[in-house]
Amino acid sequence: MTVNMRREDNVGYVEIDNAPVNAIGLSVRAGLLDAVRWAEEQNLERVIVSGKGAMFAAGADAREFDADPVEPHLPDALNAIEDSFVPWIAAIEGFALGGGAEIALACTMRFMAPSARIGFPEVNLGVIPGAGGTQRLPHMVGLANALDMITSGKPITAARAMETGLIHGIDDDPMDAAFMVNGEALGSVVSAKELPAPPLDESIVQAARDQVHSKAANQKAPLRAIDVIESGLGKALIDGLAIEREAFLELRNGEQAKALRHIFFAERGAKAPLSLVAQAVIPEHVAVVGGGTMGSAIAYALLNCGFKVTLLENDTAGVDRAKQNVENIIAASLKRAFINEQSAGEKRARFTATTDYGEIANATLAIEAAFENMEVKRFVFHALESALPAHAIIASNTSYLDINQLALAVKDPTRVVGLHFFAPAHIMKLLEIVRGEHTSATAIASAYALAKKLRKIPVVVGVCDGFVGNRILARYREAADTLLIDGSTPWEIDEAMVEFGYAMGPYTAQDLSGLDIAHANRRRQDATRDPARRYIPIADRMVELGKLGRKSGAGWYRYPDGVSRVDDPIVADIGIEEAHLAGISRVDYSASEIRERLLLAMINEAANILHEGIAQSASDIDLVTVFGYGFPRWRGGLMHYADTIGALNIVDKLSKLAEEDAVAWKISPLLQECVEVNKTLASALNDAG
């Protein structure tokens, strides 16, 4: 049973019992309908509905969304609750989300525990509330609040719910509060259905649309939610519900909802395999080497999750800089109210910056975030080996370097693993765990456990230049630079990718991170670059001219006042000049041609990465691209998107591009294989094992 019923005197207790999150699947819907009938048959005075465990209910069971809806539907169960002569009261602990919140709306009254949250996150799954949320909520909280809750998807606190009029009380024991409501008072509460709809205020609706256009451009669900809320205002509830249901079902079957569900479950699936869990060693004390931007943000991320952190630097100037860097993040977090003074004080108390490796004698994990140079890192590893206990794990935050080679700097290479954080390390959710050829299962298990504590999304990757994310990025940039010389400008390329759904294009992004990093990488790769591969010198010219990006006032764009971005005709001229020198007749690529080339370049590289066993699955690549590189979440990640195009189509387009440049557009064997045996990338297993 996923809905428990029990009677005490005249009160019925209905409990949703569907671990782990009380998702509302078929059996819960049927159970709720049964409970309505049961309460009426028993002629109860009231029903108190709650969730078993820490949560009221996390909403519809999204695992059912790939199949056709099966009766009884949630709206039917909720209409029955609302229409019943026995009043229902929701007692909410933990989360009441989506369908869970809609159950509460159908009840006569609602009480929340102080720490509970209520909200409508459906847009995050590409749908809108489908069981009355868009119709009942505006009656209770007004038009502006309802639009905000439903289009943002963000849950609100009990205090805020009280302020908006959504609930009737906050109580440490909401069940007791529901029990204590006086029968007469209960009888006089006006339900959502009887409350008048708020008046249609065009300016509020327009403001909501503008907000969605700026924050969730290209996403269908939030705009559709606004339409549905707006059209429900002048209608009887039953008619509004019908409009809502139709929109919900249409969105549920659409590409965006499928993509968002895919990412939702991929994110939750990114965890240590059961066989590894027991082997994890969770450190209390972590050493971080290097207090630059990356090292200090890693240190802060660790402090934020309760670890004791010792940051090691070369000299006292480095120590002072590291302390200041960490302090700056603490101050910024205080300013944005992410933390309070007490928690800032606790973090400071757990943090030391020093030059003395003697202070890490008890640390069981060290994360090296020193300068990106093999010799420097090997030196650090050596020092760590002498200072740490023999069982401690030694991790490197390198973004490109060969972990296998690095591991040879220590006697026991099994304790070495890569932990590739993304800047800013205390905010970005992705963590690439790099498995070297010697890395032990304990080191991998511990890296997974660390990711969990840091609330990051772990993806295990193999060793190659750039691992998964930066290798795809390098190919993306190479393809973009090729367009630059062959005919496009940085702003045309950026705009094409923003239209696709990226928050920013590759050149705007590179101006933010700085052109010098990629430049150093190109120099490192000079010795091993395939001489047959086209080399585009434009980025090197930029660095020679001191155009390093935002930090130098100019990069691919100019930043005259340090903030606003303007196109730079000099950069366009460099492209034309280099094309002339190379004897290239430039082509005027359309936005869709630009997009197609850049996306195909990334897909082909990603297919190679999968084929070589560097990534373990297509959905791991989806996680990397969405959570580390700004690929639009609502497109489901790079490989999910590729599967919507289809391998046959991709190979066909790549073959045409290969006629232009057979080296750069060499088709991945995995894509060929997908075509031959008619399979998707999602179902392709990597051959390298």
Beta carbon nearer to ligand COA, 24 or 303 = 24
Provide φ and ψ at 258, rounded to 5°.
-60, -45
Nearest-approach distance from CB 198 to ligand COA, in angstroms: 24
Nearest-approach distance from CB 71 to ligand COA, in angstroms: 18
**DSSP element (H, E) containing 631:** none
Nearest-approach distance from CB 458 to ligand COA, in angstroms: 13
246 a catalytic residue:
no
Cα–Cα distance, 333 to 340 (Å, whole number)? 8
| Closest by Cα among 315, 405, 385 to 356 | 315
Neighbours of 672 (CB within 10 A): 15
Q: Are the beta carbons of 350 and 303 closer than 8 angstroms? A: yes
And the tokens for 498?
Answer: 């923003």
Beta carbon nearer to ligand COA, 20 or 531 = 20
Residues in a beta bridge with 119: 97
Beta carbon nearer to ligand COA, 121 or 637 = 121
Q: Are the beta carbons of 276 and 441 closer than 8 angstroms? A: yes
Beta carbon nearer to ligand COA, 58 or 178 = 58
And the tokens for 553?
Answer: 């006032």
Instruction: Report which residue type is found at 350.
Output: R
User: HSE of 482 in the Cβ direction (CA atoms, 13 Å)?
Assistant: 20
Cα–Cα distance, 676 to 689 (Å, whole number)? 20
Cα–Cα distance, 176 to 182 (Å, whole number)? 12
Choose, from 82, 122, 372, 492, the residue flagged as catalytic.
122
Nearest-approach distance from CB 136 to ligand COA, in angstroms: 16
**Structure-token match 């200041």, residue found:** 324
Q: Are the beta carbons of 74 and 244 closer than 8 angstroms? A: no
Nearest-approach distance from CB 221 to ligand COA, in angstroms: 10
Nearest-approach distance from CB 218 to ligand COA, in angstroms: 20
Percentage helix, strand, coil for the chain under 3-state DSSP, each rounded to 5: 55, 10, 35
Beta carbon nearer to ligand COA, 124 or 521 = 124
Nearest-approach distance from CB 283 to ligand COA, in angstroms: 22
| Sheet with 430-434, edge to edge strand ranges | 351-354, 308-312, 285-289, 365-368, 393-396, 416-421, 430-434, 457-461
Nearest-approach distance from CB 301 to ligand COA, in angstroms: 18
Nearest-approach distance from CB 142 to ligand COA, in angstroms: 23
Q: Are the beta carbons of 17 and 2 closer than 8 angstroms? A: yes
Beta carbon nearer to ligand COA, 23 or 443 = 23
Cis link prior to 389 (omega < 30° from 0)? no
Cα–Cα distance, 575 to 594 (Å, whole number)? 16
Choose, from 15, 82, 93, 102, the residue flagged as catalytic.
102
Nearest-approach distance from CB 61 to ligand COA, in angstroms: 4
Beta carbon nearer to ligand COA, 22 or 191 = 22
Provide φ and ψ at 464, rounded to 5°.
-165, 170
Beta carbon nearer to ligand COA, 130 or 466 = 130
Residues in a beta bridge with 96: 57, 118
Beta carbon nearer to ligand COA, 125 or 237 = 125
| Closest by Cα among 422, 457, 463, 469 to 439 | 463
Residues whose CB is less than 8 angstroms from the CB of residue 83 and which lie 6 or more positions away in sequence, other chains included: none
Cα–Cα distance, 522 to 529 (Å, whole number)? 9
163 a catalytic residue:
no
Nearest-approach distance from CB 270 to ligand COA, in angstroms: 9
The angle formed by the CA atoms of residues 120, 122 and 127, to the nearest 5 degrees, is: 140
Cα–Cα distance, 208 to 229 (Å, whole number)? 11
Beta carbon nearer to ligand COA, 299 or 454 = 454
Concatenated DSSP letters of 513-534: H-HHHHHHHHHHHGGGS-TTS-
Q: Are the beta carbons of 433 and 418 closer than 8 angstroms? A: yes
Residues near ligand COA, by CB under 6 A: 20-21, 23, 58-63, 95, 97-98, 121-122, 124-125, 127, 265, 268
Instruction: Report which residue type is found at 435.
Output: R
**Structure-token match 């003697």, residue found:** 358
Beta carbon nearer to ligand COA, 271 or 534 = 271
Cα–Cα distance, 137 to 146 (Å, whole number)? 6
Q: Which residues are catalytic?
A: 102, 122
